[in-house]
């Protein structure tokens, strides 16, 4: 869920903490945001110019740059979700489920 709100000089796109909350359903979030993945998250945020405050991702932008901001913001969150598909040594999934057909 992304929320759009007014801020001085433009608007703010914010996930209100939803991204990491959803990731926490399947991963130990403290382990997920530290170590190698934590460094990758910081790199992604820097490349896409997205900020983070207490595990809330947000991007402030002037309204005339909103379309570019929405694209960068969405790309950042997608790239962070993609980190759930990688295995990093020392980071384990919170639970393992076996699917039997």
Residue 84 near residue 23, CB atoms below 8 Å? yes
92 band by pLDDT with thresholds 50, 70 and 90: low
More confident residue, 50 or 89: 50
List the domains of the chain with CATH numbers. 3-85 (3.30.1370)
Residue 18 near residue 27, CB atoms below 8 Å? no
Q: What is the mean pLDDT of residues 63-80?
A: 96
Whether the predicted pLDDT of 73 surpasses 80? yes
Beta strands in the chain (DSSP E): 3-7, 10-14, 51-53, 56-61
* pLDDT tens-place string over residues 21-56: 999 999 899 988 988 899 999 999 999 999 999 999
Instruction: Indicate the pairing of strand 51-53 with strand 56-61.
Output: antiparallel
Which residues, 6 or more positions from 39, have their beta carbon under 8 angstroms from its beta carbon?
A: none
């Amino acid at each position: 869920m992304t929320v759009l709100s007014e801020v001085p000089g433009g608007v703010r796109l914010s996930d209100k903490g939803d991204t990491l909350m959803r990731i926490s359903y399947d991963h130990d979030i403290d382990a997920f945001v530290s170590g190698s993945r934590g460094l990758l998250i910081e790199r992604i945020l820097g490349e896409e110019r997205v900020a983070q405050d207490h595990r809330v991702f947000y991007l402030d932008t002037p309204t005339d740059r909103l379309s570019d901001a929405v694209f960068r913001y969405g790309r950042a969150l997608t790239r962070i979700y993609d980190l759930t598909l990688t295995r990093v040594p020392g980071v384990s999934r919170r639970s393992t489920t076996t699917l039997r057909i």
